[in-house]
């Protein structure tokens, strides 16, 4: 969640991530791949979106994106971009310990949050052991990332991390925004909670998948934030626990505080620079270790019942 000053500094980093001249190669490659349907079990929507992602992020190339075998979720962003998802289902003869939802790119200018989610999917593709049942959405806000100059908000200028149900009333987010952020456009919560297609999609995922924990990746604070039960991780790799608090309409407020689902927010140190390979691996290993030791516990089991019985989630 960079502030305005940090965002100004990202202009040059944006150029670092966007590689002019690379697009035409990717289009040629994309066309070649489309004519080899037996190689990539993917559809045109996924190919097109992967081509756009690869054109934007230096650390994810087209093959790497296609190799993740993402699926169209049948839901779309406000600008009609498919919202992509990958499931790592339970394996035969092993009951998963918990269901985990991993989200990247809620804020469109936090490039590293998308890239690292792809890198972690690569690990899951190789080593998914059935310990957890995963659903991974590496780019929740495609319209924010995939515009010419990426920005935090979605296509309607809404901060998706302020657009969830706030548990108070429809105006609580807007009132907080006016009073506490002085109507900062980068934190606009939308006309009312759940006004945005991307938020409704995340809400639907939570409602249907009933995750025992949610991991949401952001940048650039370089810390671990946490909402909800149980005990938070003290650190994930080089990132140490630092509680930032929640805001009306944030995912941490909605899922962590209202629904009682543990929400681990991984705040990478830079929005435009990836952690090293070693750090990417260390954060992942520590995250798995914490999930294994803490999710689900008694409290989170109770919360699953709460979700099932919650009419508000089905609104």
* Residues at the site binding Zn ion, with contacts judged by CB under 5 A: 1, 107, 110, 218
Tell me the closest approach of the beta carbon of residue 270 to Zn ion, in angstroms: 12
Judged by CB, which is closer to Zn ion: 111, or 132? 111
Closer CB to Zn ion, 110 or 196, in the complex: 110
Closest distance between Zn ion and the C-beta of residue 305, in Å?
A: 30
Q: Which residue, 86 or 151, is less far from Zn ion as judged by CB?
A: 151
Cβ of residue 233: shortest distance to Zn ion, in angstroms? Answer: 19
CA dist list (Å): 24 to 21, 42, 52, 101, 167: 6, 21, 11, 34, 47
Nearer to Zn ion, 47 or 115 (CB): 115
Helix (H, G, I), strand (E, B) or coil at 83: strand
Distances (CA, A) of 67 to 50, 64, 75, 89, 206: 10, 5, 21, 17, 26
The H or E element spanning position 74 is strand 71-76
131 versus 266: smaller Cβ distance to Zn ion: 266
Cα distance between residue 43 and residue 61, in whole Å? 18
CA 256 to CA 46: how far, in whole Å? 31
Please report which helix (H) or strand (E) contains residue 270, including its range.
none
């Amino acid at each position: 969640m960079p502030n305005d000053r940090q965002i100004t500094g990202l202009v040059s980093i944006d150029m670092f991530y966007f590689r002019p001249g690379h697009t035409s190669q990717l289009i040629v490659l994309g066309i070649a791949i489309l004519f080899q349907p037996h190689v990539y079990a993917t559809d045109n929507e996924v190919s097109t979106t992967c081509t756009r992602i690869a054109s934007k992020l230096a650390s994810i190339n087209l093959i790497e994106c296609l190799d993740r075998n993402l699926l169209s979720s049948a839901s779309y962003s406000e600008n009609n971009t498919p919202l992509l998802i990958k499931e790592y289902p339970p394996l035969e003869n092993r009951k998963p310990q918990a269901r985990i939802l991993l989200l990247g790119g809620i804020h469109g200018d936090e490039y590293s949050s998308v890239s690292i989610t792809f890198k972690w999917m690569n690990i899951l593709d190789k080593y998914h052991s059935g310990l957890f049942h995963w659903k991974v959405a590496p780019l929740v806000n495609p319209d924010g990332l995939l515009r010419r100059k990426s920005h935090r908000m979605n296509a309607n200028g809404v901060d998706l991390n302020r657009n969830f149900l706030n548990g108070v009333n429809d105006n609580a987010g807007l009132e907080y925004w006016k009073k506490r952020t002085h109507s900062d456009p980068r934190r606009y919560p939308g006309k009312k909670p759940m006004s945005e297609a991307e938020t409704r999609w995340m809400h639907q995922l939570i409602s249907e998948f009933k995750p025992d924990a949610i991991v949401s990746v952001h940048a650039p604070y370089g810390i671990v934030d946490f909402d909800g039960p149980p005990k938070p991780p003290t650190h994930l790799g080089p990132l140490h626990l630092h509680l930032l608090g929640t805001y009306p309409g944030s995912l941490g407020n909605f899922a962590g505080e209202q629904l009682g689902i543990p929400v681990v927010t991984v705040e990478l140190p830079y929005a435009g620079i990836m952690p090293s390979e070693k750090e990417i691996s260390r954060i992942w290993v520590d995250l798995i270790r914490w999930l294994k030791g803490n999710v689900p516990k008694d409290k989170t089991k109770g919360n699953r019942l709460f979700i099932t019985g919650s009419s508000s989630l089905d609104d």
